[in-house]
Structure 1
Amino acid sequence: MLDSIYTRILVAVAVLALAVGGSAAVPAGQALVVEDAETGERLKTVAIEENSTVSIEYNHSVEKTRVLDEYTVRNGELEMTRMEFESYGWGLPARAEVHKENGSYVFDPEGSWEEIYVKPGYIAGHKLHVDDETYDLVALSDARSVRLRVTNQSVLDAALH
């Protein structure tokens, strides 16, 4: 009788281990991962899809005007597809071919990256937009540098994060 109980427990543990192991191998889709750039600690994981929009919004430190850098998720990378800024200042594209739209300068910059580094700041008030959701990047990182990247996540990863 005792052997029967131990056998059932061992079978249950084996089935559970197979289920967890199997879910770790089953892809659930893509995710945007925000990590501490120095330690690699995961600060945020957000489920995304192909063509999801990821944006960094902040106030220019000198001009005190809004800047928005917009990326589109394509083939596991972040492709920069739009930049908006309200005034020209240090670090902004003075020679880019821009057009005016709703009071802002707008252009479509070139470039696609596997990862993007951002140094959130209290004065700049960096925000991360992922599709329709907004996250306070300064509070999330305690104003430390972060790395943003697209990754494939398993069903288990999705459940844990």
Structure 2
Amino acid sequence: MPQHRYKLVTLAVLLLVCSAGLATAIPGERVLVVSDADTGEQLLAVPVEENTTVNLSYMHSVEKTPVYDIYEVHGERLDNTEMRFQSYGWGLPAREDVYTENGFFVFNPENRSYDELYVKPGRIASHRLTVGDQTYDLVSLSDAQSVRITVERRSVLSTALSLEP
């Protein structure tokens, strides 16, 4: 191999290695990640920004009325900003200050911020996850198995290599 070709190949390899290193080191975007709670397998990764609304909705298993748990992305945490429900039942905030609006009881929790949420999607409850304006069926996504929901910051490279199902 001629000397100039060897230098070009060496330079190209060096640039490729440096580029890969930079892509791994540069903080990329935030993503909301839904993963299998037992295996850690990623089921969904959706890009999010600061203040993106994340809504976990389901049908209360006993009351058979809709429940909406509303969160906002703040940094790498999910802040529970509101809960809406139509009737009181197990697991709903019976001893909290609520008001009514459009046929719903509304609870505005304070200081409820989470690094991770665990949800057991149910076929009867029909759990859905809405991120921004896109809705996902958590039951079919997880085959009704427990999931872990987190917000992660990923490098440019890992974001580029990650595929949304």
Whether the TM-score (by the shorter chain) exceeds 0.5 is: yes
Please give the secondary structure, in 2, of the residue aligned with 1:24. Answer: helix
Q: Which residue of structure 2 aligns with residue 23 of structure 1?
A: 23
Output aligned runs, 1:64-143, within 5 Å. Answer: 64-110=64-110, 111-143=112-144
Q: Percent of pairs identical after alignment?
A: 53
Q: Which residue of structure 1 aligns with residue 161 of structure 2?
A: 160
For 2:150, give the aligned amino acid: R
Q: Does 1:147 align with 2:148?
A: yes
Provide the rounded CA distance (Å) in 1 between the counterparts of 2:84 and 2:119: 17
The alpha carbon displacement at 1:102 in A equals 1.1
Provide the rounded CA distance (Å) in 1 between the counterparts of 2:13 and 2:126: 48
Output aligned runs, 1:33-72, within 5 Å. Answer: 33-72=33-72
Say if 1:77 and 1:3 are closer, same or farther in 2 by CA, change over 3 A. same
The alpha carbon displacement at 1:9 in A equals 3.3
Provide the rounded CA distance (Å) in 2 between the counterparts of 1:50 and 1:103: 30
Q: TM-score, normalised by structure 1?
A: 0.92
Provide the rounded CA distance (Å) in 1 between the counterparts of 2:81 and 2:116: 15
Please give the secondary structure, in 2, of the residue aligned with 1:124. Answer: coil
Q: TM-score, normalised by structure 2?
A: 0.90
The alpha carbon displacement at 1:14 in A equals 2.6
Q: How many residues align?
A: 161
Deviation by residue 1:4-52 (Cα, 9 ceiling, x = unmatched): 5455334323322221221111112211111111111111111111111
Provide the rounded CA distance (Å) in 2 between the counterparts of 1:106 and 1:149: 25
Provide the rounded CA distance (Å) in 2 between the counterparts of 1:146 and 1:3: 56
5+ long unaligned stretches in structure 1: none
The alpha carbon displacement at 1:63 in A equals 1.0
Provide the rounded CA distance (Å) in 1 between the counterparts of 2:141 and 2:130: 13
